[in-house]
Structure formats: structure tokens, C-alpha cells
Homo-oligomer: A and B are copies of this chain.
Amino acid sequence: MSVKTNFYSDNVSGAAPEILAALVAANAGDTAPYGGDAGSERLQARFAELFETEVDVFPVGTGTAANGLCASIVAAPYGAIYLSDAAHLHGSECGGPEFWSGGNARTIPVPATDGKIAAAEVARMVDEALARSATDVPPRAVSITQGTEVSTVYTLGEVRAIAEAARARRLWVHMDGARLANAVAHLGCTPAEATWKAGVDVLSFGATKNGALAAEAVVFFNRELAQSMRYRRRRGGHLFSKMRFLSVQLEAYIANGLWLRNARHANAMARRAREGLASIPGVRFRSPTEINFVLVALPQPVWDGLVADGYSFSRRGAPSEGVIRIACAFDTTEADVDALVAAAHRHAGAAQRAPRAEPAVR
């Protein structure tokens, strides 16, 4: 079997074998469509167990849909969502919040440090907006990504502080948990502690990046917020007719700790890559590596060499900064990482030996 060279995204991987098997097994027999099947109904209980509280769970096909639906609900009837300037919901979903809300939501970026916003800054900005009577969009919600877009994780205290600032101003708290598994694995806490016990009202629960084919869920801890969801999901095209195929993916994902096992492994692979690259002269990490990827600026010859080897990464930020994301997934192996690190060292060594300048910009 060949070594992995595609570190472009955690989405380059296929599905975890346990999940694919569940899907194949679900194919037999007829079922009620549109989520009336036994597997879909079972999901409510499974998520209630997972989160140690009653919840309303709505499977959807993509993270953008999960986030968009949440945005439309927490901003309703009309208002602003405060979030990190790096938030996927703000900058990577083609105007999703405006779309899902019918122009009734605006995202307001809060300056972030290592991808995380701080309660004090949220409070300050919201208070300022509240003081500008009727010229600005009224604040309605805060959204935080856990783990973040730059591989960091909010501590439980940080989440609680944001939620308290939000609650004091009557704002809802949304968590974009596209990589919640990785964050929980890092924190070593329970899913309940990571979410509703810290003040989260509604969660985009990700699975696709961590082993599903295509399955995410919106999880309402504040079940009042769920009232319009079944309608919104339907018209948004995420009430799948053969819903069982989504439900069994999610069920298999959270069964027997698969989701955390996969996440712990992916996190470990990212740490391993970081540690392996750290000793290369000129390597600059751009943020802590707390979940499953590494943001790093590589010396030009190292980058050139890896690309020549067939490696693939995604860029982050302006091209001139030369920062890439090395994304590990549930199926990244130690051998994959070690091969990447070795290749990087080889290119770095060759560069050092050669009388070649190291340009900062590429």
C-alpha cells in the first residue's frame, strides 16, 4: 500500500470502515422515508445518551447546511452573529448565513487570537452595537468554532466565559463543531461538558471530516430553538428521502467511541508531524497544534521539494505568507507522517548544502 501524500484536507479520506459497513447493512429492506425509519428514530436516544441530556437531533448532509440552519435560527427573526474573523461560517461558506436566513442574519467578525475570540471583546462589541440604537443590526448570537480553524481548542473556561457574556446580553450561543470530536479528544472532557454544560444552545455536530461519508447533525440543547427546524431543513433540501443512510452513519460514528478514537488518532498524527518538522531550520508554526492539523510556513526549498514529490496541502492566508495546512485524518498512519517529515528534512538538508537563498515569498 502506498504512502499518503494528500494532506490537503481531512476530507480527502474516504469513510471509516465501521461507517461504510453500517451504510451497506442499512440497504436491506424497505423503510419509512424522510426520517421515519427506525434508525433515524433511534438517533434521538443515542445522542441523548452521548450528551447526557434530552436533545433534538437533525441529521443534515453538510457542515455548511448545519451552520446555515443554526445561523438562521439563532439570528431569527433578524440580527447579528458575532464570531471569529477566521470562522468558517463567516468567510468560507459563500455568504451562507445571509442565504439561510433570507438576509436576516449578518455575521460580525470579532478579532481573534489563535482563532479564538475572547468574552471581553465580544461583550465590548455587542455593548457598543446595542448603544447604536437602530442604525446597526441588533446582536442576537455568538458563534464559536470548536476546535478552531487554526487547530486550537477553547478551554472550557473560555467557552463558559463567552456563553456567560452572551447570556447576560440575551444572545444565543452556537458552536460550530465540525471538529468537535478533535476538540473533545484534546480537552479530555465529556461531550456534555464541552457543550451545554458550558452554555451552548445549539451545536453543528460534525462527522464527515472524521470518518463519515457525508453526515452532520444539528443538535439542540435548547429545544425551544428547534421549533421551526423540521420545516427549515426540508425547504433547505436536507431532509433526505432515504434518511436512514445519514442516520446510520451518525449512529456508527458515535457508537463504541469510534468518533473519539478517530479524533485522538488524527490529533496525534498532527502532533507527530509538528514535532517532526520543528527541527527544520526556518520552519515557523503559525498557531498551536491542538487538533488534527498543523499550520506552518515551510522554507521555500522544502515546499518545492514536497510538491515535486507529489505532496498536496492547502494554503492559508495570503500567498505571500507561504503558510500551509497539513491536515491529518482518522486514516493517516504514523508511516504516512514519518514519510512526510523525512521528505521535508531531506529537502531542507539539500537546500542547506546548496548555495541557494531562501526567499520568503513564493
Chain A, interface residues (CB within 8 Å), range: 35 or more
Interface centre among A26, A78, A214 (most CB of B within 10 A): A78
From known contacts A68-B235, A76-B77, A214-B61, infer whether A14 and B27 are also in contact, taking CB-CB under 8 Å: yes
Which residue of the partner chain B has the closest CB to A237? Answer: B65
B209 to A60, Cβ gap below 8 A?
no
Partner of A137, one of B15, B61, B231: B231
Report A128-179 residues with CB < 8 Å from chain B CB.
128, 133-138
A51-63 near B? 1/0 per residue, CB < 8 Å: 0000000001111
Interface centre among A101, A135, A136, A318 (most CB of B within 10 A): A135
B93 to A135, Cβ gap below 8 A?
yes
CB of A102 closer than 8 Å to a CB of B = yes
Please measure, in the bound complex, the distance between the C-alpha atom of A29 and the C-alpha atom of B236, giving whole angstroms: 31
Which residue of the partner chain B has the closest CB to A5? Answer: B30
From known contacts A60-B237, A237-B236, A241-B9, infer whether A138 and B99 are also in contact, taking CB-CB under 8 Å: no
Please measure, in the bound complex, the distance between the C-alpha atom of A9 and the C-alpha atom of B95, giving whole angstroms: 34
Nearest chain B CB to A98 CB, angstrom units: 4
Stretch touching chain B among A31-39, A113-121, A281-289, A300-308: A31-39
From known contacts A230-B134, A237-B236, infer whether A30 and B4 are also in contact, taking CB-CB under 8 Å: yes
Which residue of the partner chain B has the closest CB to A332? Answer: B30
A32 partner residues in chain B, CB cutoff 8 A: 6, 8, 12
From known contacts A14-B28, A241-B208, infer whether A134 and B231 are also in contact, taking CB-CB under 8 Å: yes
Nearest chain B CB to A111 CB, angstrom units: 14
A79 partner residues in chain B, CB cutoff 8 A: 228
From known contacts A231-B134, A245-B214, infer whether A68 and B237 are also in contact, taking CB-CB under 8 Å: yes
A242 partner residues in chain B, CB cutoff 8 A: 11, 14-15, 208, 213-214
Name 23 A/B residue pairs within 8 A (Cβ), A-sorted: A4-B30, A6-B31, A14-B28, A14-B29, A14-B242, A15-B27, A15-B242, A23-B213, A24-B24, A61-B237, A63-B237, A64-B236, A68-B236, A79-B228, A94-B234, A98-B103, A98-B104, A102-B104, A134-B234, A138-B231, A208-B241, A209-B241, A214-B245
- Chain A residues with CB under 8 Å of chain B are 4-6, 8-9, 11-15, 20, 23-24, 26-34, 60-66, 68, 72-73, 76-80, 91-96, 98-106, 128, 133-138, 208-209, 213-214, 228, 230-232, 234-242, 245-246, 318
